[in-house]
Structure formats: C-alpha cells, structure tokens
A and B are shown apart, each in its own frame.
Chain A
Amino acid sequence: DIVMTQSPDSLAVSLGQRATINCKSSQSVLYSSTNKNYLAWYQQKPGQPPELIIYWASTRESGVPDRFSGSGSGTDFTLTISSLQAEDVAVYFCQQYYTTPLSFGQGTKLEIK
C-alpha cells in the first residue's frame, strides 16, 4: 500500500505571503504509459466536505483561483498558495489515486499568522 506523508502538520502564514505544503509518497505515483502523476490536492474548510483543487499533481480544478498551484513528480509534491487570503484557512490533504487502496496524507492545517 502507498503511504502519503505531508509536512508540516500545521502552518501559520501572514496574509499575502506564500504558503507551501509538501506531500511525499512511499512509492512513485507517476504512471509511465501516461506520463501523469496520479496525485490530487483537496481543501477542507471547517464543517464542510473536502473540495478538489488540484489533480494530476498540477492541473487546477475549474473555478480554483490561480494563486493555487501544484508541482512535483514521482514521490515528492508541493501545493503552493502564492498569496494567502483569509478564505484559504483550511486543512489541505493530498491523495494518491495511482493504485488501490487509494490513500490520503494526514492533512496540513493552514492558519493565518
């Protein structure tokens, strides 16, 4: 089974500053025949279900602000929020869908400093 590990567990960033969340998989989630990384990022605000923000490691979901970006390949991935807004306070999860069982990272709680 693939284990997803996020860092840090929590993060406090000033409004307008950059926020960076890392995600590492225990094995590669890059599928050679498609050259795609089977990795997604989700945002979950308090009391709400998760929302997809990034898929294929770097493709922004429709309607997601362009301050959100995903990068990385193989086993190491990053979610970056270029200029933190108050509405970005949430818990962020990465997920691999390369193979079943699918698996999530433990989550990173993002707060305002």
Chain B
Amino acid sequence: QVQLVESGGGVVQPGKSLRLSCAASGFTFSNYGMHWVRQAPGKGLEWVACLWYEGSSTYYADSVKGRFTISRDNSKNTLYLQINRLTVEDSAVYYCSRAPGYYCYGSDVWGQGTTVTVSS
C-alpha cells in the first residue's frame, strides 16, 4: 500500500542542524511532487517546502527560506529536509506528503510525522 514514513526527528539544541528523511513505498516515487508540512504543538498546519517529481524545482515558505533545503533521491525513494540553524520556533511535527502529480499541488498522501523539539 502507499506509505510514507518519516524519521530523523529528536531533541536538538538551538543553532544546530538536523536532516529529516521520508521513505516512500507502494507507488512510483519519481512520478510525484513531494511536500514537507509542519505543525507546532496545538497549532495549525504550516506548509514548509515542496519539490517537483525530478527535483529540479524547489519552493519554500518565507519563514524557512535560506535555512531549510528540500531534496530527494529517486533511486532510494526518499525525500529529505535539511534544517540548519534551528530555533525554538522550528519545534513541530514534520509531515512529508505526496502531491497528486508531478508538481507542487495539494497533498493526497501523508506520513505519520516526525517530531522535532528544539531546546537547550
């Protein structure tokens, strides 16, 4: 079945870096755009970043531009999110999701999320 499994979250000190991964299975990963969406505790959804099916085009929320990098390895069916210079405001559950097509449209499949806690 179609599945997305995130990993790489944890407790990290402010200013440090983290790389999140999202392993995809059950579909042809290279045919779909992919997103990262985050949700701070008790808050709403915040779209973070997306990239096209082949990875050539990437897009970011203004709040993370310059610190976050989205990438993919289609040979490994894996999506990544590199997060640098972490701040307490980055504490959230990070979801990866699949766009229903090549590009950065909405999200038709979601993972269970991985939790990032930024704390000294």
Contact = CB atoms under 8 A, between A and B. Distances in A.
Contacts of B113: 49
A107 B108 contact: no
A106 B44 contact: yes
Interface class of chain B by DSSP: loop
A50 B45 contact: yes
Interface stretch (B11-19, B54-62, B84-92): B54-62
Contact of A52 (B37, B104, B107): B107
Given A49-B111, A51-B110, A93 B59 contact: no
Contacts of B112: 49
Contacts of A103: 47
Contact of B106 (A97, A101, A105): A97
Contacts of A102: 35, 47, 50, 59, 104, 106
A103 B37 CA distance: 10
A25 B82 CA distance: 31
Interface of A: 1, 38, 40, 42, 44, 49-52, 55, 61, 91, 93, 95, 97, 100-107
Contacts of B102: none
A40 B44 contact: no
Given A49-B95, A50-B110, A51-B110, A104 B104 contact: no
Contact of B44 (A38, A97, A101, A104): A104
Nearest to A98: B105
The CB with the most chain A CB atoms within 10 A, among B45, B108, B110, is that of: B45
13 contacts: A40-B106, A42-B45, A44-B45, A49-B112, A61-B108, A91-B44, A93-B45, A95-B47, A95-B106, A101-B59, A102-B47, A102-B50, A104-B47
B9 interface: no
A52 B61 contact: no
B108 A100 contact: no
A53 B99 CA distance: 14
Contacts of A40: 106-107
Interface string B92-120: 00010000100011111011110000000
Nearest to A1: B62
